[in-house]
């Protein structure tokens, strides 16, 4: 796998073109996904290794991307700790027992990860067999702050009001909760490595809502703890956060191999500001995929051209594919990157 375009770029080695994969590359914009979803709930899909493996393989077979990402959700760690998780169609995740005080935090379990989340390891083994060395498989987990925000709010939030009240009023309690999540997450990612994941991505999707000081204290601390706790040999770690165009200097201190960047940043300038050896992933505005093909082409070339002086670039979106994006535009975007050649 060390010779794959994706792993080379993740370790900042030269490649003749950028590797490409897309966040949420398996999802509702694909009729093949919707056909599976008609028969099973989302959580059933995640929990059944054969089905999750089938869904993981959809974009491999239909888009020809350069890396697969396992099909699961960031909230399975919180569920393993005792969160009563369900997904409502259209309304996103819900926890029926939000965790907001000392009693709630004390009641959370310190689960035996292979026992509770072994279905993810089983799925990884199936996918690795099916990929048969063609492309790498990315495993992932939610970063503690983002997972905490769902456990505390009980659902998706726009302002994270209750989460921030806990951080600001009861920082010691917040740290207790974050430490518990970080421990489970480290075990969970180590289980994924053991099962065969070739790379790992940490999703701190909602850290963008934090101030610089709060990001450092409540998000960065735990991302660092997790990265330093991984038994990782040659496994690159990608650190994703919406807000990385601001927090990148701190994210770099946690020593990931790759920082995944939202679309607010000038990617080449951000790359040059990072310590040598940290690659970047991103950062096309996903909404470009709603535009006409000539615009998609112009923007993809502009982004790839801007990275021509840099080793260590993985093409991706700044955030995930949306369910109503045209499949044809997504395939067109992947093909464009695969045909692109740097004039180095």
Annotated binding site: 24-28, 73, 150, 205, 319
Residues 9/312, Cβ–Cβ less than 8 Å: yes
C-beta closer to ligand CP3: residue 187 or 262? 262
Strand ordering across the sheet containing 68-69:
68-69, 137-142, 199-204, 237-241, 258-260, 279-284, 313-317
Among the residue ranges 71-79, 176-184, 300-308, 334-342, the one whose residues contact ligand CP3 (CB under 6 A): 71-79
Q: Which residue lies nearer to ligand CP3 by CB, 12 or 63?
A: 63
**Which residues lie across from 86 on neighbouring strands?**
94
Number of H helices, E strands in the chain: 16, 9
Residue in 51, 86, 98 with CA at minimum distance from that of residue 72: 51
Does 181 sit near ligand CP3 (CB under 6 A)?
Answer: no
Q: Which residues of 223-240 are buried (b: 16+ CB within 10 A; e: fewer)?
A: bbbbbeeeebeebbbbbb
Minimal distance in Å, beta carbon 240 to ligand CP3?
7
Told to check if 315 binds ligand CP3 by CB under 6 A, we report no
From the CB of 156, what's the least distance to ligand CP3, in Å? Answer: 5
- Residue 271 and residue 259: Cα distance in Å, rounded? 9
Residue number with CB closer to ligand CP3 (93 or 312): 93
**Minimal distance, residue 16 CB to ligand CP3, in Å:** 26
List the one residue out of 239, 236, 286, 245 whose CA is nearest residue 264. Answer: 245
41 binds ligand CP3 (CB under 6 A): no
Q: Does residue 23 have a cis bond before it (omega within 30 degrees)?
A: no
Instruction: Give whichever of 12 and 197 is closer to ligand CP3, judged by the CB atom.
Output: 197
Check residue 74 and report its DSSP letter.
Answer: T
Q: Is 23 in the site for ligand CP3 (CB under 6 A)?
A: yes
Contact flag: residue 53 with ligand CP3 (CB under 6 A): no
Contact criterion met (CB below 8 Å) for 207 and 143: yes
- Least Å distance, CB 317 to ligand CP3, is 10
Q: Is 44 in the site for ligand CP3 (CB under 6 A)?
A: no
Binding residue (CB under 6 A) for ligand CP3 from 42, 290, 332, 340: 42
The CA distance from 11 to 162, in Å, is: 39
Contact 92, 156 (CB under 8 A): yes
Residue 205, classed as helix, strand or coil, is: helix
69/99 with CB nearer ligand CP3: 69
The span from the CA of 141 to the CA of 75, in Å, is: 8
Contact map string, positions 85 to 124, toward ligand CP3, x by CB under 6 A: --x----xx-------------------------------
Name the minimum Å distance from CB 277 to ligand CP3.
25
Q: Cα separation of 124 and 274, whole Å?
A: 32
Binding mask 213-252 for ligand CP3 (x = CB under 6 A): ----------------------------------------
Which member of 27, 83, 144, 282 binds ligand CP3 (CB under 6 A)?
A: 27
| Contacts with ligand CP3, residue ranges (CB under 6 A) | 23-28, 37, 42, 69, 71, 73-75, 87, 92-93, 140, 156, 203, 205, 320
């Amino acid at each position: 796998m060390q010779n794959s375009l994706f792993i080379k770029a993740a370790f900042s080695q030269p490649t003749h073109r950028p590797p490409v994969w897309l966040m949420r590359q398996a999802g509702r914009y694909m009729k093949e996904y919707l056909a599976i979803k008609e028969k099973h709930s989302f959580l059933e899909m995640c929990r059944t290794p054969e089905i999750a493996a089938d869904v993981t393989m959809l974009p491999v077979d239909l888009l020809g991307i350069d890396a697969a990402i396992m099909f699961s959700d960031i909230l399975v760690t919180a569920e393993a700790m005792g969160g009563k998780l369900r997904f409502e169609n259209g309304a996103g995740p819900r926890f029926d027992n939000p965790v907001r005080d000392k009693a709630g935090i004390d009641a959370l379990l310190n689960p035996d990860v292979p026992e509770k989340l072994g279905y993810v390891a089983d799925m990884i083994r199936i996918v690795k067999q099916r990929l048969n060395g063609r492309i790498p498989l990315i495993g992932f987990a939610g970063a503690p702050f983002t997972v905490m925000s769902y456990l505390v709010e009980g659902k998706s939030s726009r302002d994270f009001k209750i989460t921030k009240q806990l951080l600001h009023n009861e920082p010691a309690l917040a740290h207790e909760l974050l430490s518990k999540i970080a421990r489970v997450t480290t075990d969970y990612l180590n289980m994924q490595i053991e099962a065969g994941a070739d790379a790992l991505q940490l999703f701190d999707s909602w850290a963008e809502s934090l101030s610089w000081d709060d990001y450092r204290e409540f998000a960065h601390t735990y991302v660092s703890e997790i990265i330093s706790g991984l038994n990782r040999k040659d496994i690159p770690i990608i650190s994703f956060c919406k807000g990385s165009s601001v927090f990148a200097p701190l994210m770099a201190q946690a020593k990931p191999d790759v920082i995944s960047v939202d679309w607010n940043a000038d990617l080449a300038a951000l790359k040059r500001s990072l310590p040598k050896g940290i690659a970047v992933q991103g950062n096309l505005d996903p909404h470009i995929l709603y535009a006409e093909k000539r615009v998609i082409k112009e923007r993809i070339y502009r982004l790839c051209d801007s990275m021509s002086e840099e080793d260590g670039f993985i093409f991706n979106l700044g955030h995930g594919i949306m369910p109503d994006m045209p499949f044809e535009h997504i395939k067109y975007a992947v093909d464009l990157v695969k045909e692109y050649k740097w004039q180095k």
